[in-house]
Structure formats: C-alpha cells, structure tokens
Amino acid sequence: MKPLTLVVGLVILSVSAGLAGALTPSEQALFEAANAGSLADVKRLVAQGTAVDVTDPDNRTPMMFAAFNGHRRVVSFLLIEGTRVDHKDANGRTALMYASSGPFAETVELLLDAGAEVNVQGMLEGFTALMTAAAEGQLEVVKLLLDRGADPTLEDVDGDTALSFARQGRHAEVVALLEKRSAENDSETE
C-alpha cells in the first residue's frame, strides 16, 4: 500500500508559482483569493466578470482551492454563483475530495448539501473522499461522509480501502469507526 498523504496538498500550496502565465491576471487573482479565503476579493473579481468556473492547467477550479483550505463562505459563494459541485480536475478529484483532506466538516457538509457525489473515485489511484479523510485522520469528516452514504468498501487501484488508509496512518478512532460501520453493513446484508 502506498501512502495517501496527499499530493493534493503539495500541488495546492504552489498556487502562485504553478498558475503564472497560464491565466489572465484576474483569473490568477481569483485563484489566489479563493486559496486565501478572501471572500471580499472573490466577490469583487466575480462582479468584475471573472468566470467562477475558470480552470488552471490541471483543470482545477477556484472552489477546489477554497475547499482544500476549508473556506466554507467562499465555497458557498462560488456555488451560488454557478460553480459545478462535481467538477473534476485532471486527476478526477472533486472539491469534496479536496475538502475531506482537512478538518473541514462544515465545508464537506456544504458540498454534500449542494449535491456532491460522495463516492466519486479519482482517475489515477481511485481514491475517494472517504479514503482521503481516513488517511488524514479526519474523524468528523469520516463520520459525516459515512452518514451521507460514503461506501467504506470501495477500493483504490491497489485494493486498499478507507480502513486500510486509516490503519496505515495509525488513526485509531477512525479505524474503530470504520470497523464498526463495516460490521453494521455486514450484518444488514446477511
């Protein structure tokens, strides 16, 4: 099993360097404002005509940057303005996957309430939002995803599940929760 500790984080942290030259100045500014959680700047840029669904060279949207950092108010605004909740980046990741990597249960809930598909799997490795949250030890996010229908039995391309990632990360509370939910699911199907 390979560690899931997210490549997502490394990619997002280089927002300024990675986007230079690929976007217009206002698009670049929207990504930076979303990444920083500056709702006032996001609103101003959108009011000036910057598209909310603009994508960077990796097909990521400003909402993905906001979700990764748990900027719930920015995510909410971008959703209201028409950002597609299940837009996929070049690796098949959604904003829900990005938000699930941190302690951002409110942002995850907002995305789910907006219709985010809870069991989407990324294209490269087959990771889900639940796998991401479990790998990062995000207990509240794991609970929320499970309560909203996340399938703990889904496997990535290597056959690993959310439970595998929680065990690898030594996240005892997440392991216990996933084992409990798996046992409950097993007893319901018998």
Following DSSP, what letter does each residue of 73-93 receive, concatenated?
HHHHHHHHTT--TT---TTS-
Q: How many domains does the chain have?
A: 1
Indicate whether 2 belongs to any domain: no
Rg over CA atoms, the chain: 17
Cα(77)–Cα(69) distance, rounded to whole angstroms? 15
How high is the pLDDT of residue 184? 78
pLDDT < 50 positions in the chain: 1-17
Cα(163)–Cα(27) distance, rounded to whole angstroms? 39
How high is the pLDDT of residue 181? 87
Contact 103, 135 (CB under 8 A): no
Indicate whether 144 belongs to any domain: yes
Q: What are the pLDDT digits (tens) for 68-102? A: 999 999 999 999 999 999 999 999 999 999 999 99
How high is the pLDDT of residue 189? 62
Indicate whether 1 belongs to any domain: no
pTM for the structure as a whole = 0.89
Indicate whether 46 belongs to any domain: yes
Indicate whether 32 belongs to any domain: yes
How high is the pLDDT of residue 70? 97
Indicate whether 84 belongs to any domain: yes
Indicate whether 107 belongs to any domain: yes
Identify the domain containing residue 79 by its residue range. Answer: 7-189
How high is the pLDDT of residue 190? 58
CATH number at 131 reads 1.25.40.20
Indicate whether 120 belongs to any domain: yes
Given the structure tokens 């939002």, which residue do they identify? 129
How high is the pLDDT of residue 183? 80
Which helix (H) or strand (E) covers residue 149, if one does?
Answer: none
How high is the pLDDT of residue 21? 59
Residues with Cβ within 8 Å of 120's Cβ and at least 6 positions away in sequence, in order, are: 86, 88, 92, 94, 96, 97, 128, 129
